[in-house]
Structure 1
Amino acid sequence: MDKVVASAAEAVRDVGEGSSLAVGGFGLSGVPNVLIEALHRAGPGGLRVVSNNCGVDGGGLGILLEAGLIERVTGSYIGENKAFARKYLGGEVEVELIPQGTLAERLRAGGCGIPAFYTPAGVGTAVAEGGLPWKYAVDGSVAVSSPVKEVREFGGKDYVLEEGITTDFALVHAVKGDRHGNLVFAKSSRNFNPLAAMAGKITIAEVEELVEPGELDPEEVHLPGVFVQRVVALTPEQAANKGIEKRTVRA
């Protein structure tokens, strides 16, 4: 089955108002920028995003955030995105912060059809006991707090119940992929891209290099095409356009 679509705009055409999205990337590594830019141009609002972080000021998911298209973020790191911090503290966006390993496992579990699992991460903290501010009111008070989660003992140790995550769509970036949707990810972009792809009901992958079926060694495939519904081939210019989060130079 040839899953290649002609353009990023066509690939995201049915991402509508209020859609949930799992988005790959770690910092600026492996971010599906071309798909995000196409979504920005389309302009659906009320988006509920699941991603490790929400981009940077003026880049990645940050452009959707600054445009007011994101309503809720589930992630593990606000980072140095000033717009994200401002909108969260100002009550413009709801934020569910999750331990990074737990976020990764919740995405993987959702993609594998596992509804929930127990983990020791967060036991004895507000993660399990509730009360984390998910959304602030305009006056600075807490409008929405995280709920209390079930804690159960196994082998004399407490574990907190976490639910798997599935989303309407997933946007991911791969260094290489074939027309069947089999994907290869580069280095740290493997942290969240495969997991986000698994969690999406409709997964859209932008690939730096598109190859024909059979050209990929099965041993190098990080994500099988069964998890991918659409593939967008990037131009050489798009593939080469990679940001640097913190540029440092010698004196």
Structure 2
Amino acid sequence: MPYSKNKSFYFVRISKTAGMYLMEALREVVPDLIDAKHNYFPPVTINGEMHGDHIWISDLYESLRGPSADKFSKFDFDHLQLDKMNKFAVVRNPYARTLSLFSFFRRFDNKIYTPQMFENDVMNIESRFNSYHLFQSDFVCAKNSDELLVDKLIPVEKSLIDAVGEHVGVKLNSRKKVNVTNTRKAATSEFFQNEEVVAKIAQFFDKDFKVLGYSKSDIPS
């Protein structure tokens, strides 16, 4: 979760929503940017694991208000300061993000990720994946609630560089895409030909569709 005191923004980084791409663009023009890669922020451990920049904002608030709040003292950062900041997140069509996330989970299998593998993963999602990074809504909402804890959701699909730059008050330059999953060869549309797969994603990620403002009819083509 990168932030800038000078620009007074907090970027809630959701996994597989062009975060690394945006971070490179932001570092270029925001000199005081604080993040996990360069500053080890936030110093938050969830169930014994450090997630770097990818922390639910609800977990960050809990850490800032709890017994581990002293870990933030070297950053001169507390929950009151976070309250005042312009908090935003970049979000992605849940269908496309599910494909990107699941193929990313499989990146060490040394296999081309096929529509058949995706179908198997989706139809067995409850047993195959129990990940902190699964739901986009978890990153931006209060726990067990639809209440947004961020001020702005910016869709990755709509002129992202311009939209983020305008929102935080800087001019961002387009950069070469980074962290792109390269284990898929089939066209994206081929992964969504099975109606049961589409229905399963629509049902399982119902809260993401609702909170993020995407339509369940917006199937990648």
Mark yes or no: TM-score above 0.5.
no
Instruction: With the length of structure 2 as denominator, give the TM-score of the two structures.
Output: 0.38
Kindly indicate which of the two structures has a greater share of residues assigned to strand: 1
Higher relative contact order (CA 8 A, sep 6+): 2
